[in-house]
Amino acid sequence: MVRLKIHPGKLDEFKRIAADSIRVAREKDTGTIRYDIFLNDNETEAVVYEEFANPAARLEHLANLGGNVAGMLAIVDMQAEVWSHSDPELRASTEGYDVKFFKPFLRLEP
- Please indicate, yes or no, if residue 108 is contained in any of the structural domains: no
Total domains in the chain come to 1
In a domain, 36, yes or no: yes
Provide the domain limits for residue 30.
2-102
For residue 50, give the nearest of 27, 74, 7, 80 by alpha carbon: 80
The reported pLDDT for the residue numbered 78 is 94
Kindly state whether residue 107 falls inside one of the protein's structural domains: no
pLDDT in tens, the chain (110 residues): 999 999 999 999 999 999 999 999 999 999 999 999 999 999 999 999 999 998 889 889 999 998 999 999 999 999 999 887 667 887 887 888 888 989 888 888 88
**Longest alpha-carbon distance in the chain:** 45
Q: Is 8 inside any structural domain?
A: yes
pLDDT at position 85, please? 61
Is 109 inside any structural domain?
Answer: no
Residue 35 within a domain: yes
pTM of the full structure: 0.85
pLDDT of residue 27: 97
Residue 104: its pLDDT value, please? 84
- The answer as to whether 74 is a domain residue is yes
Task: For residue 9, tell me if it sits in a domain.
Answer: yes
